[in-house]
Each structure stands twice: as structure tokens, then as C-alpha cells.
């Protein structure tokens, strides 16, 4: 919040006023993009001139949006913008930076300044996650670390802030001085300095020295103890305090990676002659090194090791820009063409390895985005990375990357192409059969063309699954459960239609405790795909016990006959299994009743082949206040039954009864675990959980547009008649894809170009018709949103007179699934 009048801002900037000088609006924020203007009366629009766009050309648009204060550096006719005041300066960006520096000087709070080549945003976000429970922290939004982003970030500091965390990035010499003058960090953190953004520097040392300028007035700087870091720091700041860390080396803090298991690493920390062990919820080198930076800050700032372990255990991975798509020949495509420096390649390789989970890998990689003085060493590193990940096939694109030829493992099949176009002409695309394919290319190589060629073309409709939104929803529910309570995620029915394997991989990376499927085949598919999390099978039946044991699946025991068959098989074959007892407390579906508990105990008390992991039940109406008395009755009944069984068997299993609706409404019944289902996908039937994000968006394309005259009809049975000359678009989706006939004849509207249009006529098996008469510029091939963030699936469910579960699970398997990670 800037909290300055326009005249006060002009005085700071030493500008010249123009326009309506009788007004003096209070300015709380700035905007440089007219698409992001809100509370316009509090906004000053900053007209920035860039290579492609000049903000002065958007002043009228900002004015029409309600803005009445403007910062400009070009002469314009201000008289046409009545009731507006203009501050005229020589350079709007430089003036914005001056204003931000003045804003920073108003607040005497600790400011953590973070710079480096990689890891700035992750470390910033993690420190915010860790410290926000202790302090009111202002921080850089997203990756706002540029000459424009830094001043915008500083404006987030306000009277309520008692700390700020600001990141700064540079791409050429003499840029950091201005950022340092804006931020004035009191504490400095240097992250990894690598090849990213090296084009403007003659050497890595020159780049590092430029970055270290950011810490000119910092009391202490925290960084990894490398030879280069230490040499440059001592050259620039021989007297300044430093706090260093290393892995198996020297420094104020020394980390040793003792053990990596599942999705956690056990770390030994040596500090002040004392050794401590903690667990970190990551195994990747990149994430571990960023975690070490955060832990080093916590140690320096005086946190106790017990506090640190608790804080670090809650860290969540920061989203990456990855897109997963189904490719031809049963392949999975990972599209990551955001950048191509060596560090981003390392991150992408790590993601591909996780996705592959033992399957065949194909890497398609271009030469680096730009040559640097370290190109040779970067290619040496690339060789090491490729040999380490050991793909079946490596395909290189570009002239410089040909230096890898003959230097990769003999087991890796290699192909090299001069350009993207030569790859498209010469590649045998059957090479990707049954593979996970990573495409990592610099933007100039237009790898999106390769993605387009390799993508599965079975159908023009698609279900887009936003894995970043899914992770957001998971984290939201995680924030609502008690410490020590685990989460079991329901991914039955192909994860509510979104694709169980892809969703399970994300959940495994996020560290959920359990997965749950409906039938054994679903569990086996997950095991074959490399999912190692515990998996409970709800409808385990009586005929698949052998396969349960073989694939390490955990059955739900819900009936006497099923229990006895399981005991008999295990006894005969000298096998053991983990299992879960289901109790019927009022759902009256599956599960043991109270009068069956005595015999259940008798059958299991001397058993050594079944380990009872949990006891659970289902609530019949947790999402509606109307049934709260019944929910409380069920929970009390469940506790009584569970206690009787636990006492009788002398065990202490986990208990769980809450579903998505119950997690927020009945926190007193969270016990040791909760079960998350439809809430993960963005819908809370109870309405108690806000800020859930849309995970699934169903899309199609326009196949044909026709103009019909008044009186003509559309579709089978002539159910819709044109009342005027109309443009009718046929779109590539029908009831065989999951768009039911109930949505026809104006009952549902789809989105085209952001506007709602009616479905007209009856929905056909493979096609649907919509009226696009009032949509200007619509063309064949345009994208159509059937449901998504705006036209929500729960509203479509109302049209169907059903629930969102049925909308999602009804999407046909012939509709291709596309996975997005931001």
C-alpha cells in the first residue's frame, strides 16, 4: 500500500503535474497492465515503454477502467481525460524505482534479500511458509525479481509488516545497484549461482560479483561455502559478517545426507560442535540444497533444532512449468520449453525420472538458449546428467549439442538433428512407443511443433487436468487437519475421471499417507506404474487374495465370509497381509455391525497373518447440517465399536471416518486419518472449504460453422427452430464422450471466446450444435469450454439432476487427458 497522494508522489519524483490540478487522489497501488486494474480509484497507472508495447497507448483503456492518476514520460493531450491528474517524468521505470525506494525507507523492519541464478523463488516461498506463523511477512509475488518486479514487490510492505522477503534477479552488468537502493536488505541470502541469465556477463565470477552488490548494507550474508562464493565475497566485503553452509565440507553449518527413503531424506546437521538429525520431505538435490539454505537461515536466526524440524517437515514443493500430455503409441509427453539453461534441464530431468518410474525414457533436448563462456562445462554437465538418468533414447537438436555425440553411455541410443524441421522430417516417431518423452528446448527451436506432432490425436475433445490446482487443494485440506492426522486420498474410478496414475504420482510426490481404490485392478495398475504408497482396496472381494498379496495391496475387511476366506488363504499359504476393518455405523452398506463384533474379535484375536492397520466407517450425511445429529450419533457409535475391537484384539490401529465434507465441518472426528475425495478436485459439497481451485476443464473444438435461415431446425427430431438467421457451430463432443442429452436444447451453455452460448437441438453421439450468432470472429477450429472455472461442473450436475462425481466419472476414456503443471 503506497498511501500517498498524487501531489506527494510528484514531490518525491520531482516531476511536473498536468491535467486536472484541482484533484489530489490518494494512491494505494500502481498498475502497469490494464488487465490487472482493480479498485481503479486507488490506482496510479504507470505508462512503461517496452520493446513491443508502449503503456502510453493504453492510457485511454486505463481511464475507461476508472483510473484517474497517471505516471507518464511522453507528451500527450491530457485535456481529453477529464478529472485526471498526470505526473510527467523523464523515465517512468526509473521513477517507479525511486518511489519504491522512498516507500522502503518508511519501514524499519528486517528485510531478507535473496539473489542467485536458481532457487530464489523457492527459498523465498519456503521461508514464507516457515516464518509466516511467527511474523506478518511481505514478499515478492510469484517470481517478481526484475527491474520492474522488485519495486512492485517492495510496495507490498505496509504498516502491519514486521518482515519482508524480496528476491532480485539480473541479466546484465550494472543492474543490481538500482535494486539494492530500492530494497536495502538487512539480511542477505545467496542461492545457487549457475548458467541461467549469463548472456550479459563475461564470466561466472563477474556475474557473482554483480549479484553480491545486493548485500551492500546487509549485516550478514548466508551462502554455500564454495571456493568461488567465498573468494568473491571476501573481495567485495572483507569485513562483512557471513554465515556459510556446506554438504560434507566446511562452513558454519555442515550437512550430511545420511539416508534417502521413499520421499524423505534423513539429514545430519553439524553446528557449533553438536550433531542433530532431522527428516526433510524431499530427495532431489535441487530441493535439498534450497532446504539447506532455509535451514541455515533458521539456525542463524536462533531457532532451536526441534522447531526447525517441525517447520521443515511442512514444506511443500513449489510448482514447476510442466505440461503432461498423452502421446501417440501409448506414450506420455512432458512439455517443458520454458527455458533451457543447465539448471532448469536438471530439474526437468528429475521430473521426467519421477514420471517414468522405471518405464522407458526418451529425451529430446535442444542446444542451450545462448552461448556463454561456460558452454563447454555446461555441456560436460549435460553429459553427466544424461548418463545419470540413463534414458533409452537421447535426441539432440541444434549444432552445438552435437558435441555430445559419442560421449554418452553405449546403452543410450542417440540421434542428432540440425534443427526442429529436420527432426520432423527424419524422426521415426514409433521410437516413442510405450515411453515417457521429455521435450526440453530453447524457445528459438519451437519444440511446440514437435509436441503437436507427437500428441495423441484420437479425439478433438480433451479433459484438461490442472495438477497445480490439485496440489493447491490438497495443501488447503492439509492446512485444516490436526498435526499427526494423515490423509488418505480416494483415486477410485480413475481418480474421478482425471487419470489415476498421473494423479497418484503427484500425490506420492506430495507425501500423502494412503491411496484408496475401489477394485484390485486399479491397485495393480498403480503398482505397475511405480506407485509405492500404501493402497487400500475398498471392494476386495473373495477371489483375488493371491494378487492382493503379490502386489502388496491392503484389503478392506467388511463381511464375515470375506474375513474367513482371507484367513483360510493366508493360513494355507503361510502369508501375511495388512488390512483395514470396516464398520457399519449407519450407512447400511458394507461393514461389520455391532452384533458381529464379538465373533470378529474371536476370529482375529489369535491371528498372526493379518495386521489390522485401521478401523473405519462411512458417514451418511456429513455435508448437510440437517443430518448433524445423525453424524454425531454415527461418530459416537464408531468410537464405541472401535474401542471394543481394539481392546479385544489388544491393538492400537488408526481410526478414520471423515470424508471431504466432514474434514472441515467435524474437526473433532479427524482421529488419525481422514479421507479426501471430491474436495481434491475442487468441490466441497458442504460449502465449508473456500478457495478451492478448479482441477478439471472439459474442452472441444468447432468442427464446422453453418448459417441457417429463420424457420430451419437443428438436430435429430427437429427440437430447435431458428427464430432468425443464425450461425450454428458443430463442436467435437457428444453424449458418447460424457456430455449428456439432458444438456441439450438450451439447458446448458458452453464458453467460446469467453462468452456463453446455448447448446441447440439434441446432443448427438459424437457432436453437439451451439448458436454462435452473437459471437464476433468465431472460426472453425476455435476452442470450446464445456465446463471449467466459469461454467462449473457442479452447475452442469444440476442440469443432469445428479452430483459432480457423476459428471467427472462419466467422461469417456476416448476423451484425451492433458495434464498441466504451472
Residues paired with residue 489 on neighbouring β-strands, in sequence order: 515, 676
| Contact by Cβ (8 Å): 336, 321 | yes
| Contact by Cβ (8 Å): 810, 736 | no
* Tally of CB atoms within 10 A around 309: 17
Residues paired with residue 652 on neighbouring β-strands, in sequence order: none
**Strands 816-821, 462-466: pairing kind:** parallel
Record the cell numbers describing residue 246, joined without a space.
556446506
Record the cell numbers describing residue 673, joined without a space.
486419518
Please report which helix (H) or strand (E) contains residue 696, including its range.
strand 696-708
Record the cell numbers describing residue 255, joined without a space.
550437512
Known catalytic membership, residue 605:
no
492, 582, 655, 816: the active-site residue:
492
**Residue (of 288, 227, 234) closest to 256 by Cα position:** 288
CA distance 509 to 735: 35
**Residue (of 255, 252, 172, 268) closest to 211 by Cα position:** 172
Angle, CA 157 vertex, CA 693 and CA 38 arms, to 5°: 50
**Residue (of 476, 536, 526, 531) closest to 508 by Cα position:** 531
Q: 94-108 burial string, b = 16+ CB within 10 Å, else e?
A: ebbbbbbbbbbeeee
Please report which helix (H) or strand (E) contains residue 386, including its range.
helix 375-389
E-only strand ranges, 149-202: 163-167, 187-190
| Contact by Cβ (8 Å): 282, 266 | no
Q: What are phi and psi of 199, to 5 degrees?
A: -60, -30
**Strands 253-261, 413-417: pairing kind:** unpaired
Residue by residue, DSSP assigns 497-556 as TT-HHHHHHHHHHHT-SEEEESSHHHHHHHHHTT--S-EEESS--SS-HHHHHHTT-EEE
* Tally of CB atoms within 10 A around 172: 12
Long-range contacts of 687-690 (CB under 8 A, 24+ apart): 688/661, 688/664, 689/476, 689/477, 689/480, 689/660, 689/663, 689/664
| Contact by Cβ (8 Å): 368, 341 | yes
Q: What are phi and psi of 279, to 5 degrees?
A: -105, 135
| Contact by Cβ (8 Å): 59, 86 | no
Sign of CA dihedral 270, 272, 278, 282: negative
| Contact by Cβ (8 Å): 353, 360 | no
Known catalytic membership, residue 496:
no
| Contact by Cβ (8 Å): 44, 31 | yes
Point out the residues that are catalytic.
492, 716
Amino acid at each position: 500500500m503506497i498511501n500517498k497522494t498524487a501531489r506527494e508522489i510528484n514531490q518525491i519524483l520531482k516531476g511536473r503535474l498536468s491535467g486536472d490540478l484541482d484533484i489530489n487522489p490518494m494512491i494505494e497501488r500502481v498498475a502497469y497492465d490494464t488487465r490487472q486494474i482493480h479498485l481503479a480509484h486507488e490506482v496510479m497507472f504507470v505508462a512503461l515503454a517496452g520493446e513491443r508495447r508502449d503503456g502510453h497507448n493504453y492510457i485511454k483503456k486505463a481511464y475507461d477502467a476508472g483510473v484517474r492518476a497517471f505516471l507518464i514520460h511522453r507528451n500527450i493531450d491530457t485535456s481529453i481525460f477529464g478529472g485526471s491528474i498526470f505526473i510527467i517524468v523523464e523515465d517512468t521505470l526509473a521513477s517507479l524505482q525511486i518511489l519504491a525506494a522512498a516507500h522502503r525507507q518508511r519501514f524499519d523492519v528486517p528485510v531478507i534479500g535473496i539473489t542467485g541464478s536458481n532457487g530464489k523463488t523457492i527459498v523465498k516461498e519456503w521461508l514464507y511458509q516457515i516464518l509466516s506463523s511467527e511474523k506478518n511477512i511481505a514478499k515478492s509475488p510469484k517470481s517478481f525479481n526484475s527491474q520492474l518486479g522488485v519495486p512492485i514487490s517492495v510496495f507490498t510492505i505496509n504498516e502491519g509488516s514486521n518482515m519482508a522477503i524480496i528476491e532480485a534477479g539480473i541479466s546484465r552488468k550494472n543492474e543490481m545497484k538500482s535494486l539494492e537502493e530500492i530494497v536495502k536488505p538487512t539480511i542477505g541470502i545467496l542461492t545457487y549461482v549457475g548458467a541461467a541469465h549469463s548472456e550479459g556477463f563475461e564470466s561466472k565470477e563477474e556475474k557473482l560479483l554483480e549479484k553480491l552488490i545486493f548485500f551492500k548494507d546487509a549485516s550478514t550474508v548466508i551462502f554455500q561455502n564454495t571456493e568461488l562464493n567465498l573468494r568473491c565475497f571476501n573481495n567485495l566485503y572483507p569485513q562483512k559478517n557471513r554465515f556459510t553452509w556446506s554438504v560434507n565440507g566446511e562452513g558454519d553449518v555442515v550437512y550430511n545426507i545420511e539416508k534417502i527413503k521413499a520421499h524423505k531424506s534423513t539429514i545430519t546437521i553439524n553446528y557449533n560442535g553438536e550433531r542433530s538429525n532431522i527428516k526433510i520431505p524431499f530427495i532431489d538435490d535441487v530441493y535439498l540444497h534450497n532446504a539447506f539454505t532455509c535451514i541455515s537461515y533458521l539456525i542463524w536466526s536462533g531457532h532451536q533444532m526441534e522447531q526447525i524440524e517441525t517447520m521443515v517437515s511442512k514444506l511443500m514443493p513449489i510448482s514447476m512449468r510442466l505440461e503432461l500430455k498423452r502421446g501417440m503409441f501409448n506414450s506420455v509427453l512432458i512439455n517443458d520449453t520454458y527455458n533451457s539453461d543447465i539448471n532448469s534441464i536438471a530439474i526437468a530431468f528429475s521430473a521426467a525420472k519421477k514420471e517414468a518410474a522405471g518405464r522407458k525414457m526418451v529425451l529430446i533436448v535442444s542446444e542451450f538458449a545462448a552461448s556463454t563462456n561456460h558452454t563447454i562445462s555446461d555441456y560436460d554437465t549435460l553429459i553427466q546428467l544424461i548418463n545419470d538418468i540413463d534414458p533409452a533414447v537421447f535426441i539432440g537438436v541444434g549444432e552445438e549439442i552435437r558435441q555430445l555425440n559419442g560421449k554418452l553411455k553405449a546403452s543410450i541410443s542417440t540421434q542428432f538433428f540440425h534443427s526442429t524441421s529436420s527432426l520432423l522430417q527424419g524422426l521415426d516417431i514409433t521410437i516413442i512407443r510405450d515411453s515417457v518423452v521429455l521435450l526440453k528446448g530453447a524457445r528459438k527451436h519451437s519444440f511446440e511443433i514437435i509436441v503437436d506432432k507427437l500428441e495423441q490425436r484420437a479425439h478433438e475433445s480433451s479433459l484438461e487436468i490442472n495438477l497445480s490446482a490439485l496440489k493447491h487443494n490438497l495443501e488447503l485440506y492439509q492446512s485444516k487437519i490436526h498435526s499427526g492426522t494423515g490423509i488418505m486420498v480416494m483415486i477410485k474410478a480413475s481418480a474421478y475421471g482425471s487419470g489415476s496414475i498421473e494423479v497418484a504420482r503427484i500425490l506420492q510426490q506430495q507425501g500423502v499417507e494412503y491411496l484408496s481404490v475401489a477394485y484390485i485392478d486399479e491397485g495393480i495398475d498403480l503398482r505397475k506404474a511405480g506407485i509405492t504408497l500404501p493402497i487400500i482396496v475398498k471392494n476386495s472381494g473373495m477371489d483375488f487374495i493371491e494378487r492382493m498379496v503379490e502386489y502388496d495391496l491392503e484389503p478392506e475387511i467388511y463381511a464375515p465370509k470375506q474375513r474367513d476366506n482371507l484367513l483360510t488363504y493366508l493360513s494355507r499359504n503361510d502369508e501375511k497381509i495388512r488390512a483395514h476393518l470396516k464398520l457399519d455405523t449407519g450407512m447400511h452398506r458394507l461393514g461389520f455391525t455391532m452384533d458381529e463384533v464379538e465373533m470378529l474379535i474371536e476370529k482375529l484375536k489369535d491371528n498372526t497373518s493379518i495386521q489390522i492397520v485401521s478401523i473405519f466407517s462411512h458417514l451418511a450425511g456429513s455435508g448437510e447440517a440437517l443430518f448433524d445429529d445423525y453424524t454425531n450419533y454415527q461418530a459416537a457409535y464408531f468410537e464405541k465399536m472401535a474401542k471394543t475391537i481394539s481392546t479385544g484384539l489388544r491393538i492400537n490401529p488408526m481410526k478414520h471416518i471423515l470424508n471431504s465434507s466432514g474434514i472441515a465441518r467435524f474437526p473433532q472426528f479427524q482421529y488419525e486419518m481422514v479421507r479426501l475425495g471430491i474436495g481434491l478436485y475442487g468441490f466441497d459439497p458442504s460449502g465449508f472449504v473456500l478457495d478451492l481451485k478448479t482441477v478439471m476443464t472439459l474442452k472441444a473444438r468447432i468442427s464446422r460453422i453453418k448459417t441457417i435461415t429463420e424457420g430451419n431446425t437443428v438436430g435429430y427430431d427437429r427440437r430447435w427452430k431458428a427464430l432468425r438467421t443464425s450461425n450454428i457451430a458443430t463442436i467435437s463432443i457428444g453424449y458418447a464422450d460424457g456430455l449428456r442429452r439432458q444438456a441439450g436444447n438450451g439447458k446448458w451453455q458452453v464458453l467460446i471466446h469467453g462468452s456463453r452460448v446455448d447448446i441447440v437441438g439434441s446432443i448427438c453421439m459424437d457432436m453437439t450444435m451451439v448458436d454462435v450468432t452473437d459471437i464476433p470472429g468465431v472460426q472453425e477450429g476455435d476452442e470450446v469450454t464445456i465446463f471449467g472455472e466459469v461454467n462449473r461442473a457442479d452447475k452442469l450436475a444440476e442440469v443432469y439432476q445428479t452430483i459432480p462425481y457423476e459428471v467427472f466419472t462419466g467422461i469417456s476414456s476416448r476423451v484425451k487427458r492433458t495434464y498441466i503443471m504451472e
